[in-house]
Structure 1
Amino acid sequence: MADPILSLRDACLTLMGNAGPVEILRGISLDVTRGETLGLVGPSGSGKSSLLMLMGGLERATGGSVTALGQDLTRLGEDALARFRLGNMGVVFQSFHLIPTMTALENVATPLELAGHADAFDRAADELRRVGLAHRVDHYPTQMSGGEQQRVALARAAAPRPAILLADEPTGNLDGANGQAIMDLLFGLRDRHGATLILVTHAPELAARCDRVIRLADGRVEGEELRRAAE
């Protein structure tokens, strides 16, 4: 078996609450292969989003290790983590997290500019065209629907051509038609750029399209289902 693109070994996450420490994740061990699509499912509070945040270095494991592309994320400082994500990961959130004072084009171009791409705006315009928003490049988030804002967020995550694409409930705030469109776009991005896709979802139809599904409960891996072999 080829080296995994992402690997967790006994990864734990404990956060301080009002009543003391709270165990969010309890000894998670799993490997994700290059090009795989992995779905994380489970009831609310099971640790799905927290696990995704560990994978992306947006939360730091309080125990165990998280390795992405051969880099131990638990040993990196905040600046190094930010640089690593910028060059290797794209993240899509349920709440879009667009910059309200920037147009769609500027939102997508910003990470490209930060990464030093001289053609940032050309690449951003091309990515917006690919998600069907060529006519919205000069619009601000408040001038767009929820589905359109999520398309901008997808374009922003995909434009740097990340090796790993993380999506946290990407269809959670959308109606059925927009949710289906975003699902199709997500898997299209995976196919077009060859990214490894890891997503958190409550939607059975989205989980069904994944190569493998991990079910979490109470901060632990409760089960695993192989849907299809990753290419």
Structure 2
Amino acid sequence: MSSQLQSGVSGGAKTEMIALRDVHLTLGSLAGDVNILHGVDLSVMRGETVSIVGPSGSGKTSMLMIVAGLEQATSGQVVVGGQDFGALDEDGLARFRRDNLGIVFQSFHLVPTMTAVENVAIPLELAGRRDAAERAAAVLDQVGLGQRLRHYPGQLSGGEQQRVALARAFAAEPKLILADEPTGNLDADTGAQIVDLMFSLARDHDTTLMLITHDSTLAAACDRRVEMRDGRLTGGAALKAAE
């Protein structure tokens, strides 16, 4: 791997946040091995927003899970935030996620028996933050839920639940946010509000954002749109030089 890939270009240029090189993923099934990803190459710069688009079953979520360290590539190199995932065991990957990543899912994934503020405090508590509750309340206020801190997910609308999920993802100020269909379960107006909020939070925290979406408006709002089909990136300048 070149020194440019590892540390970026001198002179104040941005460095890579995500570097996938010839990544393959093969999973076993009762019918035999299934090839999910076929030699994926992808470069995402720090602070960039990138949308991944393509038909269902094209491998988008599998690629996202590899970037999150939740799925291990069969072969190839995965470097996120300068860390080569091949050098980390499961515990190391878990620590890396805790310290560097926020993840937003389509179905919110909130703990139903915990209040909004308790849900947002989870990653902060795992990181050992003594101010977890205070920080969680502050971020919920930032996303417009300052009056809903003690409400449970079942007492919140879909849009409010996704705001809680965004607050949880951004609470620890991660370097990278990964989002899988963040507006998929929302109506158009609520989805547009969530998009605006997500990009505002990303700008405020200089966070790299990579998201999967079928929403053309959301995809177009990103700095770059990358297309995926049949486990391969087929368009959208997947590799971008550090400049």
Normalising by structure 1, report the TM-score: 0.95
Number of paired residues? 228
In the TM superposition, what whole-angstrom CA distance separates every residue of 1:58-90 from its partner, at most 9, and x where no partner exists?
A: 111111011011111133211111110010000
Are residue 166 (structure 1) and residue 178 (structure 2) matched?
yes
Structure 1 residue runs of 5 or longer lacking an equivalent are none
Are residue 202 (structure 1) and residue 219 (structure 2) matched?
no
In the other structure, the counterpart of 1:176 is 188
Q: 2:141 aligns with which of 112, 129, 139?
A: 129
In the other structure, the counterpart of 1:61 is 73
Moved more, 73-82 or 101-110: 73-82
1:177 aligned counterpart, secondary structure: helix
After TM superposition, give the deviation of residue 225 of structure 1 in Å. Answer: 5.5
2:39 aligned counterpart, secondary structure: strand
1:90 aligned counterpart, secondary structure: strand
CA contact under 8 A between 1:109 and 1:124: conserved in structure 2?
yes
2:16 aligned counterpart, secondary structure: coil
Q: 2:235 aligns with which of 192, 214, 223?
A: 223
In the other structure, the counterpart of 2:129 is 117
Are residue 108 (structure 1) and residue 108 (structure 2) matched?
no
Q: Hey, what's the Cα distance between the residues in 1 that align with 2:134 and 2:127?
A: 14
In the other structure, the counterpart of 2:198 is 186
Q: 2:104 aligns with which of 78, 89, 92?
A: 92
CA contact under 8 A between 1:61 and 1:74: conserved in structure 2?
no
Q: Hey, what's the Cα distance between the residues in 2 that align with 1:70 and 1:113?
A: 25
In the other structure, the counterpart of 2:94 is 82
Q: 1:52 aligns with which of 48, 64, 71?
A: 64
Q: Hey, what's the Cα distance between the residues in 2 that align with 1:78 and 1:117?
A: 22
Q: Hey, what's the Cα distance between the residues in 2 that align with 1:106 and 1:119?
A: 12
1:5 aligned counterpart, secondary structure: strand
What amino acid does structure 1 have at the position aligned with 2:27? L
After TM superposition, give the deviation of residue 184 of structure 1 in Å. Answer: 0.5
After TM superposition, give the deviation of residue 191 of structure 1 in Å. Answer: 0.6
Q: Hey, what's the Cα distance between the residues in 1 that align with 2:86 and 2:180?
A: 21
What amino acid does structure 2 have at the position aligned with 1:56? A
Identity %: 59
What amino acid does structure 1 have at the position aligned with 2:44? V
In the other structure, the counterpart of 1:214 is 226
Are residue 72 (structure 1) and residue 84 (structure 2) matched?
yes
In the other structure, the counterpart of 1:148 is 160
In the other structure, the counterpart of 2:32 is 20
Q: Hey, what's the Cα distance between the residues in 2 that align with 1:191 and 1:109?
A: 22
In the other structure, the counterpart of 1:37 is 49
What amino acid does structure 2 have at the position aligned with 1:140? Y
In the TM superposition, what whole-angstrom CA distance separates every residue of 1:152-187 from its partner, at most 9, and x where no partner exists?
A: 000000000000011000000100111001100110
In the TM superposition, what whole-angstrom CA distance separates every residue of 1:173-209 from its partner, at most 9, and x where no partner exists?
A: 1001110011001101111100000000000000001
2:204 aligned counterpart, secondary structure: helix
Q: Hey, what's the Cα distance between the residues in 2 that align with 1:65 and 1:165?
A: 20
Structure 2 residue runs of 5 or longer lacking an equivalent are 1-8
Q: Hey, what's the Cα distance between the residues in 1 that align with 2:87 and 2:226?
A: 26
CA contact under 8 A between 1:9 and 1:29: conserved in structure 2?
yes
What amino acid does structure 1 have at the position aligned with 2:173? R
Q: Hey, what's the Cα distance between the residues in 1 that align with 2:147 and 2:86?
A: 42
CA contact under 8 A between 1:14 and 1:21: conserved in structure 2?
yes
After TM superposition, give the deviation of residue 5 of structure 1 in Å. Answer: 1.4
